[in-house]
Amino acid sequence: MRSELIFEALAREPNRYLLCRLVAKGTRSLHRPNTRVQDTTNEMLELFSVRVARAKTLHIGKTLELNQRAA
């Protein structure tokens, strides 16, 4: 649900006006033709959510560890 995405994004960016502005800018820049604007907005909120940010951080950390082992 979008409300859950908004609350998760607010945990990362507590200023709701700035969050709204950033999500709107991101939605305009990432929107693809023949897709719903609502779906693009949800994607942007997922990018700002804490849960996704943690998962990406863990993934990047594992990638760095693998690169160091290979070297």
Report domain extents, the chain. Answer: 2-70
Per-residue confidence (pLDDT) for residue 61, from 0 to 100? 53
Backbone angles phi, psi at 32, to 5 degrees: -105, 145
The one-letter amino acid at 64: L
Q: What is the pLDDT of residue 66?
A: 47
**What's the Cα-to-Cα distance from 19 to each of 41, 48, 58, rounded to whole Å?**
12, 9, 24
pTM for the full predicted model: 0.62
Residue 2, pLDDT score: 77
10, with CB counted inside 10 A (0-12, 13-18, 19+), is middle
Contact 43, 30 (CB under 8 A): yes
Question: What is the token pair recorded at 70?
Answer: 């290979």
Per-residue tens of pLDDT for the chain, all 71 residues = 778 888 788 888 788 898 889 889 988 888 888 989 989 888 888 888 866 656 655 555 555 454 555 44
